[in-house]
């Protein structure tokens, strides 16, 4: 059926009312100001009212904290990052810069902790949520701890262009990069040291249902002599659209107990691990994982080292 004649036709008032009536609006979501469908850019010498939303010069959606008139330059203190939902935590709202030089570790961890604690929101008392990283390079000087139910999501790992040097290529994604001299792990799951090597872990102490998506994790081996990039002990997690590179030790390490568990205990898709001093991906579980399009190359040890068991009796 050809619907080209209907393209760009306005929706009638009756139709719009009917559509709006079908939308689910939760009490929790109504706590926050709705996001306008046409958000203007911030401009100078303009009167703004409390709660009014604009797009900042940096490209972030913000809203006025109080009534004020803008000056000749943008003043961050007059604006707050828009909170999209009870389960969405923007690292910039917690002080992260993503400028490639500031140590953002404490700000990022504050956002992760807020997600883990439910952000103090009654609708999210169980904890968990999405920790959002706008485009930028976030320098990390201390290990980030990832909890169950928490998901780290960026704007993409950037792209590869083989016709020029890295120094001449603008980065257009999200990267977490270990600070020079940190000599520590970049990201690891909660209770990792206590759980690693445990064959029958308690389900209550083991991180589960978490994930990392759409970003580059860089171990900065040029500035560090030790430290893994991403260390996981857990199950039922997702890793998707990641570039894991330049580790002074291992790139990706995953582990879970050898006891029988659930099907599809991890889904790992579109991940590249490269240029690490140690092994690219030592795999010690979780068993019954779904792995697709994982590429490991130019690592000092094994590209992938699998040491796991799987219950085939079910």
Q: What are the residue boundaries of the structural domains of the chain, listed by start? A: 38-82, 85-306
Neighbours of 222 (CB within 10 A): 8
pLDDT of 152 strictly over 50: yes
For all residues of the chain together, what is the average pLDDT?
79
pLDDT of residue 1: 44
CA distance 124 to 10: 38
Residues 199-242 have pLDDT tens digits of 777 655 788 889 999 999 999 999 999 999 999 998 889 999 99
Q: How confident is the model at residue 30 (pLDDT cuts 50, 70, 90)?
A: very low
pLDDT of 105 strictly over 70: yes
pLDDT of 123 strictly over 90: no
Mean pLDDT of the 116-121 span: 55
CA distance 244 to 238: 15
pLDDT of residue 155: 92
Q: Domain 85-306: what homologous superfamily?
A: Single-stranded right-handed beta-helix, Pectin lyase-like (2.160.20.10)
Return the closest-CA partner of residue 182 out of 216, 138, 230, 226.
226
pLDDT of residue 290: 86
Contacts of 267 (CB under 8 A, 6+ apart): 237, 238, 239, 240, 289, 290
- 38-82: which CATH topology? Seminal Fluid Protein  PDC-109 (Domain B) (2.10.10)
- Regarding pTM above 0.85, the answer is no
Residues 81-101 have pLDDT tens digits of 765 555 789 999 999 999 999
pLDDT of 127 strictly over 70: no
Residues 249-258 have pLDDT tens digits of 999 999 988 7
Residues 174-191 have pLDDT tens digits of 999 999 999 999 999 999
């Amino acid at each position: 059926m050809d619907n080209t004649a209907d393209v760009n036709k306005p929706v009638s008032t009756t139709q719009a009312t009917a559509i709006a009536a079908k939308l689910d609006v939760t009490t929790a979501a109504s706590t926050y100001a709705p996001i306008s469908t046409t958000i203007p850019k911030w401009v100078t010498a303009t009167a703004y009212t409390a709660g009014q939303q604009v797009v900042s010069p940096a490209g972030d959606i913000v809203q006025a904290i109080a009534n004020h008139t803008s000056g000749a330059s943008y003043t961050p203190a007059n604006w707050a990052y828009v909170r999209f939902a009870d389960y969405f935590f923007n690292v910039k709202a917690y002080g992260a810069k993503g400028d490639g030089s500031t140590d953002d570790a404490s700000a990022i961890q504050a956002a992760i902790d807020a997600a883990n604690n439910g952000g103090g929101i009654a609708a999210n008392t169980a904890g968990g949520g999405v920790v959002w990283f706008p485009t930028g390079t976030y320098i990390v000087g201390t290990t980030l701890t990832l909890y169950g139910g928490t998901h780290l999501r960026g704007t993409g790992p950037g792209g590869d262009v083989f016709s020029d040097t890295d120094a001449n290529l603008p980065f257009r994604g999200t990267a977490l990069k270990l600070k020079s001299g940190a000599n520590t792990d970049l990201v690891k799951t909660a209770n990792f040291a206590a759980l690693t090597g445990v064959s029958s872990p308690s389900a209550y102490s083991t991180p589960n249902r978490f994930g990392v998506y759409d970003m580059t994790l860089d171990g900065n081996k040029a500035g560090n002599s030790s430290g893994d990039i991403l260390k996981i002990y857990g199950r039922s997690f997702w890793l998707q659209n990641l570039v894991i590179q330049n580790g002074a030790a291992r790139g990706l390490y995953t582990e879970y107990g050898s006891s029988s568990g659930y099907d599809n205990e991890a889904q790992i898709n579109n991940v590249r691990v490269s240029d690490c001093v140690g092994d690219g991906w030592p795999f010690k579980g979780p068993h019954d994982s779904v792995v697709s399009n994982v590429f490991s190359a130019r690592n000092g040890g094994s590209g992938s080292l699998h040491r796991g068991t799987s219950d085939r009796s079910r």
